[in-house]
């Protein structure tokens, strides 16, 4: 006999963010009537084959779900052709390219003027359109959008902020499909696997949905079931995205100093996406994460039920908790918010600096707190690994920031592969020193920037650029920075944790926890004798340099006198003039390229007009179009360089 379905809070379901499916399910369970929770919809082998209506309505009617929103054509996988999918992807990409091009034109700002505020508003508007488009395109693009929300080195602030809002507002698939998938994956009837199984999903997202169930002994569990046809959809989408990445690799001007490798970024995204749809890997990651924190009693990880887990089905312990940024509920439970903020940061520091295996998406939707004040981690589909040499570099970096030691920071960045030494590191070193001092001042006066007016902020920005503008331009020209995906996940995670900390405890300073922790690990990793030996060698080297400098003192005095004379004659302006000439030559070279393409396009148009054969005319006009496009791109690069120079040098 079919029993009543538990009453589900659909308002909770409709607000589930992408990537927090487990916590959303837990919150939904917590909001349910205890009587309904104790009496879920029972499905045995007979009812699984023939799903019955619970209250007279058909069992499988996804359109009746009040929390379902249009999932786009991708949700109709059985009738969705590869050609149609490819068309949808490329029409979105081309439309975005046109909108992006238009947002950089003065004509787009004819009413407001091309002020920094108007440009930022236009970028935000475009970013909002992109976010909505990604949701319409479905799981692959939602997940890629989530990953790019961690790439502040690739996207502007406006795009990062919008992509952080990505939500999985997609329809749940029907209960009959869920039951069929469970039986296919587990190789047995649902009634034989679970004592009870609720056909109403607790939460739905782009990759799957979560159901409530109980085991034979009465233990409550949650069951995550993957959306049907997901692997096929990923295969189609990622083939198209790789082509897009190859085009971006050719067209990206890279005028901001970051040597982006779009194909490498695609490879990293692709790897993570395929790992996220293999639930056995997620389960293994959860087990490893739990083992790493075996001696920490304030960290909890739900246990995986391996006999009920496959690549497309994940069954895990029901671990209730309160979202870590729900301050009202935390206060009601009488928990110490300052302690929770400290523990969240310490747990993450242990992950990256001790274990080398970290949760790559520690946003509030994936961290909860139970009544005992323990941190509960969910969703282990996106994890990162850090090699030993990179962990050592991070330790040095944290301590270098703490000591405001620019050289130590640059050495650490070089060890991690983020910074590639160039012939002249002076500009990079001065820039690092400037930002370290600015960072220290900002921590000392955290509320001061919030009190400034827009005009004061603009003047402060101008002052900063006048101080280091030339250094930034030189660093951008050398392109010394590389941004490994793992490192950007680490930076993004610390940003999220800093936000969580400030929500829990106003005035929270993540550096006061991170730097001493890094210092202790540095000392812990170096035995006392080795540390003393290293200190002695450092002091000995310093003494040796002092002795050498003693004998070189007369030469140094003469060199100083020569330097002063050159300053008086103005000869030291030569370096600045060389940089200006270098940039001018770069602009001339790009203008020449644009001119050549324009001449080629003009010549091909004339050939096409004079051609007597239709095929030759079509080929000539097609070539003229391609040459014209490259001419426009070259001019756009020149304009981008001019804008950047004007911004950094204050010449415009």
Task: Express each pLDDT in 524-552 by its tens digit.
Answer: 655 444 444 455 455 555 555 555 555 55
33: left (phi over 0), alpha (psi -120 to 50) or beta: beta
Q: What is the mean pLDDT of residues 299-316?
A: 95
Q: With bands split at pLDDT 50, 70 and 90, how would you rate the model's confidence at 54?
A: very low
Q: With bands split at pLDDT 50, 70 and 90, how would you rate the model's confidence at 130?
A: very high
- b/e map of 365-383 (b: 16 or more CB within 10 Å)? bbbbbbeeebbbbbbbbbb
Q: Are 177 and 312 in contact (CB under 8 A)?
A: no
Residue 293 has pLDDT above 90, yes or no: yes
Q: Are 166 and 139 in contact (CB under 8 A)?
A: no
Residue 370 CA to residue 330 CA, distance in Å, equals 9
Q: Within 13 Å and on the Cβ side, how many CA atoms surround 205? A: 25
Query: Among the listed ranges 35-39, 273-277, 374-378, 426-430, which one has the minimum average pLDDT value?
Result: 35-39
Residue 37 has pLDDT above 70, yes or no: no
Pairing of strands 367-369, 375-377: antiparallel
pLDDT for 514: 76
Answer with the residue of higher pLDDT: 387 or 481: 387
Provide the CA 443 distance to its chain's centre, in angstroms. 25
pLDDT for 335: 94
Residue 620 CA to residue 611 CA, distance in Å, equals 9
- b/e map of 553-570 (b: 16 or more CB within 10 Å)? eeeeeeeeeeeeeeeeee
Query: Phi and psi (nearest 5°) for 350?
Result: -65, -40
Q: With bands split at pLDDT 50, 70 and 90, how would you rate the model's confidence at 618?
A: confident
Residue 63 has pLDDT above 50, yes or no: no
Distances (CA, A) of 601 to 123, 589, 608, 610, 618: 32, 18, 10, 14, 13
Residue 51 has pLDDT above 60, yes or no: no
Residue 428 CA to residue 419 CA, distance in Å, equals 10
pLDDT for 649: 52
Helix (H) or strand (E) holding 98: helix 82-103
Query: Phi and psi (nearest 5°) for 369?
Result: -130, 130
Query: Among the listed ranges 220-234, 390-404, 524-538, which one has the minimum average pLDDT value?
Result: 524-538
Q: Are 201 and 223 in contact (CB under 8 A)?
A: no
8-state DSSP, 167: B
Residue 80 CA to residue 84 CA, distance in Å, equals 7
- pTM over cut 0.75: no
Residue 366 CA to residue 122 CA, distance in Å, equals 32
Q: Are 364 and 495 in contact (CB under 8 A)?
A: no
Residues 6+ apart with CB under 8 A from 644: 255, 256, 473, 476
Query: Among the listed ranges 191-200, 248-257, 260-269, 607-616, which one has the minimum average pLDDT value?
Result: 248-257
Residue 566 CA to residue 574 CA, distance in Å, equals 11
Looking at mean pLDDT, say which of 315-329, 386-400, 599-613 comes out highest: 315-329
Query: Among the listed ranges 149-158, 203-212, 282-291, 548-557, which one has the minimum average pLDDT value?
Result: 548-557
Q: With bands split at pLDDT 50, 70 and 90, how would you rate the model's confidence at 26?
A: low
Residue 44 CA to residue 2 CA, distance in Å, equals 10
Q: What is the pLDDT of residues 229-238, one digit of tens each?
A: 888 888 899 9
Residue 95 has pLDDT above 80, yes or no: yes
E strands in 364-483: 367-369, 375-377, 383-385
Kindly give the interhelix angle for 510-525 and 337-349, rounded to the nearest 10 degrees. Answer: 40
Q: Which long-range contacts (CB under 8 A, 24 or more apart) does 287-295 make?
A: 288/357, 289/357, 289/359, 289/377, 289/380, 289/383, 292/350, 292/351, 292/354, 292/355, 292/357, 293/347, 293/350
Residue 580 CA to residue 586 CA, distance in Å, equals 10
Neighbouring-strand partners of residue 213: 197, 221
pLDDT for 70: 43
CB neighbour class for 17 (10 Å; exposed up to 12, middle 13-18, buried from 19): buried
C-alpha dihedral sign at 522, 526, 529, 533? negative
CB neighbour class for 176 (10 Å; exposed up to 12, middle 13-18, buried from 19): middle
Q: What is the mean pLDDT of residues 618-624?
A: 83
The catalytically annotated residue of 17, 174, 237, 361 is 361
Concerning whether 256 is annotated as a catalytic residue, the answer is no
What mean pLDDT, rounded, does the chain reach? Answer: 74
Helix (H) or strand (E) holding 38: helix 34-38
Cβ neighbours of 155 (radius 10 Å)? 18
Query: Among the listed ranges 246-250, 464-468, 566-570, which one has the minimum average pLDDT value?
Result: 464-468
Q: With bands split at pLDDT 50, 70 and 90, how would you rate the model's confidence at 296?
A: very high
Proportion of the chain above pLDDT 90, given as a percent:
19
Residue 523 has pLDDT above 50, yes or no: yes
Q: Work out the angle at residue 498's Cα, subtended by the Cα atoms of residues 492 and 499, and round it to the nearest 5 degrees.
A: 95
Residue 370 has pLDDT above 80, yes or no: yes
Residue 383 has pLDDT above 70, yes or no: yes
Proportion of the chain above pLDDT 70, given as a percent:
62
Q: What is the pLDDT of residues 444-457, one digit of tens each?
A: 555 454 555 655 65
Residue 373 has pLDDT above 90, yes or no: yes
pLDDT for 611: 78
Residues in the chain: 652
Q: Coil, helix or strand for 367?
A: strand
Instruction: Using alpha carbons, select from 382, 54, 8, 78 the residue that is nearest to residue 227.
Output: 78
Q: Are 8 and 200 in contact (CB under 8 A)?
A: yes
pLDDT for 537: 52
Q: Are 277 and 235 in contact (CB under 8 A)?
A: no
Residue 104 CA to residue 102 CA, distance in Å, equals 5
Residues 6+ apart with CB under 8 A from 280: 309, 310, 311
Q: Are 25 and 67 in contact (CB under 8 A)?
A: no
Residue 210 CA to residue 189 CA, distance in Å, equals 18
pLDDT for 434: 67
Residue 280 CA to residue 314 CA, distance in Å, equals 8
8-state DSSP, 66: T
Residue 374 has pLDDT above 80, yes or no: yes
Q: Where are the alpha helices (DSSP H) in 104-229?
A: 116-137, 139-148, 157-163, 175-186, 190-193
Helix (H) or strand (E) holding 208: strand 208-214
CB neighbour class for 334 (10 Å; exposed up to 12, middle 13-18, buried from 19): exposed
Looking at mean pLDDT, say which of 429-443, 452-466, 521-535 comes out highest: 429-443
Residue 311 has pLDDT above 90, yes or no: yes
Q: What is the mean pLDDT of residues 313-330?
A: 92
Residue 423 has pLDDT above 60, yes or no: no
Q: With bands split at pLDDT 50, 70 and 90, how would you rate the model's confidence at 561?
A: low
Q: Are 415 and 392 in contact (CB under 8 A)?
A: yes
């Amino acid at each position: 006999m079919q029993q009543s379905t538990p009453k589900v809070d659909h308002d909770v379901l409709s607000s589930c963010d992408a990537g927090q499916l487990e916590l959303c399910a837990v919150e939904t369970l917590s909001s349910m009537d205890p009587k309904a929770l104790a009496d879920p919809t029972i499905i045995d082998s007979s009812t699984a084959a023939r799903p019955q209506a619970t209250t007279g309505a058909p069992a499988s009617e996804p359109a009746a779900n009040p929390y379902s929103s249009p999932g786009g054509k991708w949700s109709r996988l059985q009738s969705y052709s590869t050609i149609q999918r490819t068309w949808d992807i490329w029409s979105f990409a081309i439309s975005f390219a046109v909108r992006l091009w238009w947002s950089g034109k003065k004509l787009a700002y004819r009413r407001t003027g091309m002020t920094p505020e108007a440009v930022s508003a236009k970028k935000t508007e475009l970013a909002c359109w992109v976010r909505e488009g990604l949701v319409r395109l479905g799981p692959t693009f939602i997940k890629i959008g989530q990953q790019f929300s961690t790439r502040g080195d690739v996207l502007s602030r406006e795009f990062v902020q919008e992509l952080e809002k990505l939500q999985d507002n997609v329809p749940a698939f029907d209960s009959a499909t869920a039951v069929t998938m469970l039986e296919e994956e587990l190789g047995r009837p649902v009634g034989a696997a679970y004592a009870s199984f609720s056909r109403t999903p607790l939460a739905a997202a782009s990759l799957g949905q979560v159901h409530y169930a109980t085991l034979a002994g009465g233990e409550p569990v949650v069951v995550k079931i993957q959306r049907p046809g997901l692997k096929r959809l990923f295969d189609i989408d990622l083939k198209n995205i790789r082509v897009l990445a190859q085009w971006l690799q050719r067209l990206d001007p890279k005028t901001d100093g970051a040597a982006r490798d779009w194909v490498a970024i695609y490879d990293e995204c692709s790897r993570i996406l395929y790992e996220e749809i293999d639930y056995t890997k997620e389960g293994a990651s959860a087990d490893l994460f739990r083992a790493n924190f075996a001696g920490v009693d304030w960290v909890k990880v739900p246990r995986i039920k391996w006999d009920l887990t496959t690549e497309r089905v994940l069954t895990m312990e029901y671990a209730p908790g309160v979202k870590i940024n729900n301050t009202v509920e935390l206060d009601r439970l009488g928990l110490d918010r300052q302690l929770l903020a400290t523990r969240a940061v310490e747990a993450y520091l242990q992950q990256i600096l001790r274990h080398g295996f970290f949760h790559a998406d520690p946003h509030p939707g994936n961290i909860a707190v139970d009544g005992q004040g323990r941190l509960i981690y969910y969703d282990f589909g996106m994890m990162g690994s850090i090699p030993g040499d990179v962990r050592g570099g991070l330790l040095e970096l944290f301590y270098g920031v703490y000591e405001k030691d620019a050289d130590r920071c640059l050495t650490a960045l070089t060890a991690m592969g983020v910074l590639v030494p160039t012939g002249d590191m002076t500009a990079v070193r001065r820039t690092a020193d400037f930002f370290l001092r600015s960072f220290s001042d900002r921590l000392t006066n955290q509320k001061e920037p919030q009190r400034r007016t827009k005009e004061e902020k603009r003047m402060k920005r101008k002052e900063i650029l006048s101080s280091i503008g030339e250094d930034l331009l030189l660093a951008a020209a050398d392109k010394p920075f590389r941004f490994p995906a793992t490192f950007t996940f680490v930076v993004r995670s610390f940003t999220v944790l800093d936000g969580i900390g400030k929500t829990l405890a106003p005035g929270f300073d993540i550096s006061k926890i991170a730097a001493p922790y890094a210092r202790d690990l540095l000392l812990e990793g170096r035995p006392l004798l080795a540390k003393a030996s290293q200190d002695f060698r450092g002091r000995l080297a310093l003494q040796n340099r002092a002795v050498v400098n003693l004998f070189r003192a007369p030469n140094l005095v003469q060199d100083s006198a020569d330097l002063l004379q050159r300053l008086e004659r103005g000869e030291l302006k030569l370096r600045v003039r060389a940089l200006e000439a270098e940039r001018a030559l770069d602009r001339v070279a790009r203008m020449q390229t644009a001119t050549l393409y324009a001449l080629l396009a003009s010549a091909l148009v004339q050939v096409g007009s004079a051609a007597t054969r239709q095929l030759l005319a079509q080929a000539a006009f097609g070539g003229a179009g391609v040459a014209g496009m490259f001419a426009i791109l070259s001019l756009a690069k020149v304009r981008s360089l001019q804008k950047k120079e004007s911004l950094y040098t204050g010449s415009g």
